[in-house]
Amino acid sequence: MKIMITGSKGQLGNELQSILKSGRSEIGEISPQYKGAEVIAVDIDTLDISDLEATDAFIAENKPDIIINCAAMTNVDGCETMKETAFKVNALGVRNLAMGAQKQGAKFIHISTDYVFEGVGTKPFVEWDGINPQSVYGASKALGEKYALSFNKKTFVVRTSWLYGYIGKNFVKTVRRVIREHGSITVVNDQRGNPTNANDLAHHLLKLGVTEEYGVYHCTGEGECSWYDFACKIAEYSGFENAVFPCTTEEYNSKYNVPTKRPEYSSLMNMGLICTVGNEMRNWQDALKEYISKVED
């Protein structure tokens, strides 16, 4: 089996490679079908997915059985100022991969986000809820979803949120660094969602990849919290005391001049997984605790 991973140097790309290498995630073993799989790992320095011709030629030459797209412009505020790049990478780049996958007969696993939803509510969003993105990042990812599903028949669109992996930048590492450097951190307490360990997400992507259960999925850590609750647990598991303070989004945005509207409520329910391959996503606190016991910075 040949598995092509785009955005392989990012958080999720790294996690997938490490699980494929060892044959197991923190949740458990992956399918024996992946044993001996050839991994073709690419990132922007080797393949810019927004280049249609290059993407088409790369897929035709390498003939992957599964393409997992972890490449994206994930800088949410950057997307507001660099709309064209956001559109090229998060929408057209996905189209290019989906078209290449279709020609090759490959399965296509594409990662999307909670930002496709309007971000208000009190009940977790399920896969059939209507989308209504409020930011350029969310809109570009929403179009990417549409292209992924339209241009390749064998597509899985998997939405996740508040992702952290061992390699790369994320909120967990930022909280730990700020507390180490400044003694404390102030975090918004009025935006709620689901922290997701990239290792758990990667496990489920690989679980889906050996099936034909194509369609849209949510895959986030079990249980919801605010960014403040998340930061409190990060501090607690890292051994910091009295280091996290709450604020409102309004206070935070006016202090730091934040250009992007963030979802107030974007908790996702993993309904698609429950109904197909099974939802083994860990409770967000357990997954975080293991991560903090292993992460190096």
Catalytic residues: 137
- What are the structure tokens assigned to 56, written together? 């088409």
Q: State the nearest-atom distance from the C-beta of 268 to ligand NAP, in Å.
A: 10
Q: State the nearest-atom distance from the C-beta of 45 to ligand NAP, in Å.
A: 8
Is 44 among the residues that bind ligand NAP (CB under 6 A)? yes
Is 135 among the residues that bind ligand NAP (CB under 6 A)? no
Q: Name which of 74, 9, 73, 89 is nearest 41 in CA terms.
A: 9
- 3-class SS at 66? strand
Is 155 among the residues that bind ligand NAP (CB under 6 A)? no
- What are the structure tokens assigned to 19, written together? 């699980």
Q: Name which of 20, 41, 14, 52 is nearest 209 in CA terms.
A: 20
* Helices and strands (H and E) in the chain: how many: 12, 12
> How far is Cα 208 from Cα 11, in angstroms, rounded to an integer?
19
Is 43 among the residues that bind ligand NAP (CB under 6 A)? yes
Rule CB under 6 A: choose which of 9, 176, 203, 282 binds ligand NAP: 9
Q: Which x/- pattern over 53-72 shows residues binding ligand NAP (rule: CB under 6 A)?
A: -----------------xxx
Helix (H) or strand (E) holding 156: strand 155-160
Choices 57-65, 158-166, 234-242, 260-268 (CB under 6 A): range interacting with ligand NAP:
158-166
Choices 4-12, 116-124, 172-180, 269-277 (CB under 6 A): range interacting with ligand NAP:
4-12
Q: State the nearest-atom distance from the C-beta of 36 to ligand NAP, in Å.
A: 25
- What are the structure tokens assigned to 259, written together? 């250009």
